[in-house]
């Protein structure tokens, strides 16, 4: 392993699986950079929604939006121009729109180089749908983090209620199941468990246990690489 090697931990998984929280905490523990790739798709969705763009047909325009995003990630802030949109992009409407946008090959291509630019020393932890399969296929560790749809709907429900946002758990479950189907069946970079990816089912785990599992797997990966 040469001195210029930059390790990547890629954590992929379905909506509301907790991969973002786990990835952030793993990055903090290791002192690595963090990339929330889904935020980029949500930003494209937010810009398109605000401009009245057609989320279901104008792939060329959406890819232009992706290339021209004026975004800065700073701590918990996600600044689009001069506005912190970290909360705005977390709405259910924005998430559903992002899932539709992510199916467009031109949009994914426009964001690819931007995502790879986050790989900087001392390392990167990233989460998304295709981080291990497409964006960082040579990642040191690939995790597919999941949970049952029912568990994910309950977690999302609690998150929204804690923020004072009214939610219906049956509607959330339906949305999650629809997004799972859409993400898994799209023609470009579908959500899937790769042959070189470790499955981590968090249905019966809390966040701390999931973080510990990823850290342990990374330590084992490093030990093997040194052997």
Binding site residue list for ATP: 13-21
The string of DSSP letters for 83-122 reads EE-TTGGGSHHHHHHHHHHTT-HHHHHHHHHHHHTT--TT
Tally the C-alpha atoms within 13 A of residue 31's C-alpha that lie toward its C-beta: 2
| Measured distance CA(64)–CA(53) in Å, rounded | 12
| Measured distance CA(118)–CA(34) in Å, rounded | 8
**Which residues are annotated binding-site positions?**
13-21
Name the residue among 158, 164, 143 with its Cα closest to residue 217: 143
């Amino acid at each position: 392993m040469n001195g210029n090697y930059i390790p990547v931990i890629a954590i992929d998984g379905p909506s509301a699986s907790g991969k973002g929280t786990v990835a952030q905490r793993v990055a903090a523990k290791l002192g690595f950079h963090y990339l929330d790739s889904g935020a980029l798709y949500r930003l494209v969705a937010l810009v398109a929604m605000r401009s009245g763009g057609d989320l279901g047909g104008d792939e060329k325009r959406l890819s232009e939006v992706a290339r021209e995003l004026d975004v800065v990630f700073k701590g918990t802030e996600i600044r689009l121009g001069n506005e912190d949109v970290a909360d705005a992009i977390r709405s259910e409407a924005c998430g559903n729109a992002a899932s539709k946008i992510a199916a467009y090959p031109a949009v994914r291509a426009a964001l690819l180089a931007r995502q790879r630019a986050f790989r900087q020393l001392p390392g990167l932890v990233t989460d998304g749908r295709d981080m291990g399969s497409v964006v960082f296929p040579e990642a040191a560790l690939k995790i597919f983090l999941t949970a049952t749809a029912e568990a994910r709907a309950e977690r999302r429900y609690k998150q929204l209620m804690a923020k004072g946002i009214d939610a219906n758990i049956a509607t959330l479950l339906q949305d999650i199941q629809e997004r799972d189907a859409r993400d898994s069946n799209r023609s470009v970079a579908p959500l899937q468990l790769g042959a070189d990816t470790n499955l981590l089912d968090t249905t019966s785990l809390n966040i701390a246990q999931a973080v510990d599992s990823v850290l342990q797997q990374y330590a084992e990966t490093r030990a093997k690489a040194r052997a």
